[in-house]
Amino acid sequence: MSAEILIPSILKIGGGSFEEVPELLLRLKCKRPLIVTDPFLMRGQLPGALQRAIKDAGIACAIFSETVADPTSAIVDAGVRVFVGNDHDSLVSLGGGSPIDTAKAVGMLAKNGGQARDYRVPKVIPMAGPPHVAIPTTAGTGSEVTRFTVITDSETGEKMLIAGSALMPTAAVVDYELTLTMPARLAADTGTDSLTHAVEAYVSRKANTFTDTLALAAMKTIWRELPASVSDPGNLPAREAMMLAATQAGMAFSNASVALVHGMSRPLGAHFHIAHGLSNAMLLPAVTAFSVEAAMGRYAKCARTMGIAERGDPDERAVNGLIEALYQRNAELKVPSPKDFGVDEAQYFEMIPVMAKQALASGSPQNNPRVPTAEEVESIYRQCWEGK
Ligand SMILES: [Fe+2]
């Protein structure tokens, strides 16, 4: 069976590649790019430095810095008004997944019109947006190399998955030096998101040999380097390895899809304002325990690749070790349960049927090796309430 692989046309990878953005924009014939970033980054030097460098190359350029964590349709609409109103012809997103996802949706609506909710899966986006250069500052969501964006509907609060080749950035600039100021919690959460991408891409029903290679390389690196990357921000080799692995994991899941963890994570994040990587981490061990029986060989390979199991260990021992190690890693990274996070207990249990319905509607759980029923999704949510 053939696999269709989509990645950005241009990938710039390595320390210092950030400085090549103006030249990249010239090559792409961008005349009026709009930089999309967030208020947190605006307090630092980066967006201003980028704007100056672009202007110095003779390109007119403005900044839209109103993006929010868990980007909303209202902010996307505001971005579209700026983009269209000021006659911009291209996008440069700078930040974590939120600015990059926002820029993708802005480009989509600027080109196709309508509202974000008109394009949620399984809708097909008719036309690709304007050129988009994505510059991640976390390692990471992988959004710089994916054909997905997740936008929260400002009216209903639902986290909507939007997918299609039209969303793929034209270029990704992956410079680990931009991650050096990332706080420990952010490094832990975005790193766990990357690990989840790698594992889910590898066990996905849509996995293929191309994505397998990327997923295995990414999970090996992330499992080894994440603790040092979190506890020792000055550890440059760890941060560099994490940055590359996060992008590899992004390419893997963009072409193989994510599965049940992401399906369940979006509603959890949307209703209780839990950061995406953190809600993934809360779910990953329990979802893995639920899923292993349907793909023992694949999960065992993950365990061996991550150095959790020996080459000669039987599959069952390897997957049990994997589940145990995922719980252990959560404890080391101080991942709270929803209860410890401060979620209201009555509200959590009341929302479980709604969250299960939304998780299944996103389509991601259908890529899981073990496809759950609504009752099984509800049961996993109940199980995760207190963690382990
Ligand atoms: Fe993710």
Q: How far is the CA of 101 from the centre of ligand 1 (A)?
A: 12
Q: Ligand 1 centre and the CA of 373: distance in Å?
A: 22
- Residues 146 and 7: their CA atoms lie apart, in Å, by 7
Q: Please give the distance, rounded to the nearest whole angstrom, from the Cα atom of residue 46 to the centre of ligand 1.
A: 24
In contact, 38 and 99? CB cutoff 8 Å: yes
CA of 192 to the centre of ligand 1 (A): 9
Q: Are 261 and 202 in contact (CB under 8 A)?
A: no
Residue 277 CA, ligand 1 centroid: distance in Å: 7
348 CB contacts (<8 Å, ≥6 apart)?
Answer: 272, 338, 339, 381, 385
What letter represents residue 166's amino acid? A
Q: How close is the Cα of 214 to the center of ligand 1, in Å?
A: 16
CA distance 337 to 388: 8
Separation of CA 114 and ligand 1 centre (Å): 26
Residue 347: count other Cβ atoms within 10 Å of its Cβ: 10
283 closest CA partner among 384, 212, 192, 158: 384
Identify the three-state secondary structure at position 241. helix
This prediction has a pTM of 0.94
The tens place of each residue's pLDDT in the chain, 388 residues long, gives 789 999 999 999 999 999 999 999 999 999 999 999 999 999 999 999 999 999 999 999 999 999 998 899 999 999 999 999 999 999 999 999 999 999 999 999 999 999 999 999 899 999 999 999 999 999 989 999 999 999 999 999 888 889 999 999 999 999 999 999 889 999 999 999 999 999 999 999 999 999 999 999 999 999 999 999 999 988 999 999 999 999 999 999 999 999 999 999 999 998 999 999 999 999 999 999 999 999 999 999 999 999 999 999 999 999 999 999 999 999 999 999 999 999 999 999 999 999 999 999 989 999 999 999 999 999 999 999 998 7
Nearby residues for ligand 1 (ion, Cβ within 5 Å): 193
d(CA 253, CA 295): 17
CA of 97 to the centre of ligand 1 (A): 9
Candidates 137, 307, 310, 298; CA nearest to 227 is 307
Q: Compute, in angstroms, the gap from residue 150 CA to the centroid of ligand 1.
A: 10
Distance of CA 51 from the midpoint of ligand 1 (Å): 28
CA of 83 to the centre of ligand 1 (A): 27
Write out the E strands in the chain. 10-13, 33-36, 62-64, 90-95, 132-136, 148-152, 159-163, 171-174
275 CA → ligand 1 middle, Å: 10
Backbone angles phi, psi at 247, to 5 degrees: -70, -40
